[in-house]
Chain A
Amino acid sequence: MQFGIMSVSDITRDPVSGHTPSEAERIENIVKIAVHAEEVGLDVFAIGEHHNPPFFSSSPTTLLAHIAALTTTLTVTTSTTLITTNDPVRLAEEYAMLQHLAKGRMDLMLGRGNTAPVYPWFGQDIRQGLPLALENYNLLHRLWREDVVDWEGQFRTPLQGFTSTPRPLDDVPPFVWHGSIRTPEIAEQAAFYGNGYFANNIFWPKEHYKRLITFYRQRFEHYGHGTRKQAVVGLGGQAFIAKNSQEAHDQFRPYFDEAPVYGNGPRMEDFEEMTPLSVGSPQEVIDKTLTFRDAFGDYQRQLFLVDHAGLPVDMVLRQLDLLGEHVVPVLREELEARRDPEAPANPPSHADLVKAKYGDQAPRQPRPNANRGDNVTGGSPYQDSEAAAAEYPTL
């Protein structure tokens, strides 16, 4: 079971001190937070993607490559990568590059993005968001698995004889999660490809997320990737920890009350009761997190949101200390003890995927053919790839 943190990259005024961090400050701090996540023994750091203030994370692969360079065991990932407004060709290239630089310590999670005005900035239309997401992933999937791709779809310029470079590390595509909380088509796509499914598990009662997770598990089995229990499920959640319940509530309340999205809405106590939010002592956070497994079955990755709503960086680092010292070790032990042996303990790592593809053989290392000077890859761009002739249109 992997534990980590996910950030939406909001730059929010600290309601207690009145201080709004600069972009520079917040970016510097997120690196500190990510590095500290590894120091306290967490496994995963995830960053969101946004293209509007007050968020900073427009270029997740740049940030994650930097963090990967500063860490040794941490898996870097996204929460989420926009599969709608990004060109799948650029995603294939950027994330393959990140995969090389991070030596495989990465994966990514795809999401649609729900900010309507962002779509036209990238030449897209939110009303087409779902078909766009589905079609873009179909292409991304092929770009990482086929050296030469001919492709035609509804939304993007057709590709003829296109090769996405670099090829994935060891010619093994990064593991992909599909994030969704209300769209059966996304769960179906995750199941069809045998990818992971992630529910943010933040705003609603957990029963709400249960339906699609159950559907995803059924369909994962239907498509022959394994049993329901072997499907790869990740969950979000948010926690605020202090040495006792009272202190946690006192410290977190001003941030909760003014938090973007749900601030000035529900009372914190109601939100705790109705949603997966836990505010309290390490034991309370442990108890609440354990209920997730009861609801959703054995799952492989738990990400906590800890750095939002203007929480100052020192407080976030302290949260990580508490998570790493008092919460996660207990959760690891408890969840491992309860895990059905049929369910995987972790989502697949790069090493797992290499082993699955090659067994004990050495992984493929694609070496390009000599540059022919025409700037077109043609049918056989790599020395060992088969000369699949590209279909060029003829008149």
Chain B
Amino acid sequence: MTDFRLVVVSAGVSDPSSTRLLADRATQRVTALAKERGHAVTVTTVDLRELLPELPAALSSQLLGPRFTRAVDALGAADAIVAAAPVYKAGASGLFTSFFQVLDNDLLIGKPVILAATAGTARHALVVDEEMRALFAYLRALPVPTSLFASTEDWTDTGFGTRIDRAARELVLLMESGFARAVRDDAWGAYQHTYGSAGGTELEIDLDSDLMRLATGGTLRPSTDDDPFDPRKG
């Protein structure tokens, strides 16, 4: 029995929004399945629309306003994520993409994610797998195998409910596996990090690195011991 923290990020901008609706359906299934398996789930929803006033500052100067900061904190503490975007002009919406581009690269490492998108036509179906999945791969997150995509006809398709179920189950299993936490505990150092990233928690300074030796008067020059033609060896 574990208490999981699930963060839902929705980039839908109308109210009610079909993107939010899809995110909520996935969230409900995740919560229900987790409960069946004896877990509690605390859900935090980040409606990106509410972050719009802070977006220009974040994009232009990496300056995160209070709502952005809360969203980053929630994602940093999340055990799993549901990320849903509307498709505009054959791509995930600018708001959705911008939000994840502003986040630091270390925030979502190893975290399981359900990727979801809505569109007016089925012709956009591959946006989730070809575009959104790549973005989350870059962030080193762990999107579940089943992507969710809903165009108009999907809302009445019973097969869609099955896919939501499948994605939710995948997410719960990945949460249960403790993969993200294990990565953080056991293998964090094997990933490239920048100082102050992972929502300001990545503050480890390795004093035993080549660069630190250089900073303290050392040299990067490889040893010339094995150079038979080194004139200094006489």
Contact = CB atoms under 8 A, between A and B. Distances in A.
A131 B211 contact: yes
Interface string B173-207: 00000000000000000000011100000010101
B233 to A, nearest CB: 10
Interface in A231-284: 261-267, 270-271, 274-275
Contacts of A208: 196
A358 interface: no
Contacts, number: 93
Contacts of A263: 60
Contacts of B203: 211
A192 B195 CA distance: 19
A132 B147 CA distance: 45
Contacts of B56: 264-266
B63 A154 contact: no
Nearest to B204: A184
A141 B214 CA distance: 13
A211 B60 contact: no
Contacts of A261: 61
Interface in A171-211: 182-186, 188-189, 192-193, 203-204, 208, 211
B196 A188 contact: no
Interface residues of A, number: 39
Nearest to B65: A270
A134 B215 contact: yes
B57 A265 contact: yes
Interface stretch (B152-160, B163-171, B216-224): B216-224
Contacts of B205: 184, 188, 215
Main secondary structure on B side of the interface with A:
loop
A183 B61 CA distance: 18
A115 interface: no
Given A393-B231, A394-B234, A153 B60 contact: no
B214 A138 contact: yes
A135 B219 contact: yes
Interface residues of B, number: 28
Nearest to B222: A154
Contacts of A204: 62-63
A395 B231 contact: yes
A138 B220 CA distance: 12
Interface string A355-395: 00000000000000000000000000000000000010111
Nearest to B61: A262
A182 B104 CA distance: 13
A30 interface: no
A287 interface: no
Contact of A135 (B60, B61, B220, B232): B220
Nearest to A275: B63
Nearest to B220: A154
A152 interface: yes
Given A204-B63, A265-B63, A138 B221 contact: no
B62 A203 contact: yes
Nearest to A393: B231
Contact of B219 (A154, A193, A203, A211): A154
A91 to B, nearest CB: 17
A1 interface: no
A313 interface: no
A226 B61 CA distance: 36
Contact of B61 (A185, A215, A265, A391): A265
Given A265-B56, A265-B63, A182 B220 contact: no
A138 B194 CA distance: 24
A188 B234 CA distance: 37
A393 B214 contact: no
A132 to B, nearest CB: 10
Given A135-B214, A135-B220, 4 more contacts: A262-B60, A266-B56, A274-B57, A393-B232
Across the A-B interface, the 6 shortest Cβ-Cβ residue pairs: A265-B60, A266-B57, A189-B215, A134-B214, A192-B216, A393-B231
20 contacts: A134-B211, A135-B219, A138-B218, A153-B219, A153-B221, A154-B220, A182-B194, A182-B196, A183-B195, A185-B211, A185-B215, A188-B205, A188-B207, A265-B59, A265-B63, A266-B61, A270-B57, A274-B57, A274-B63, A393-B232
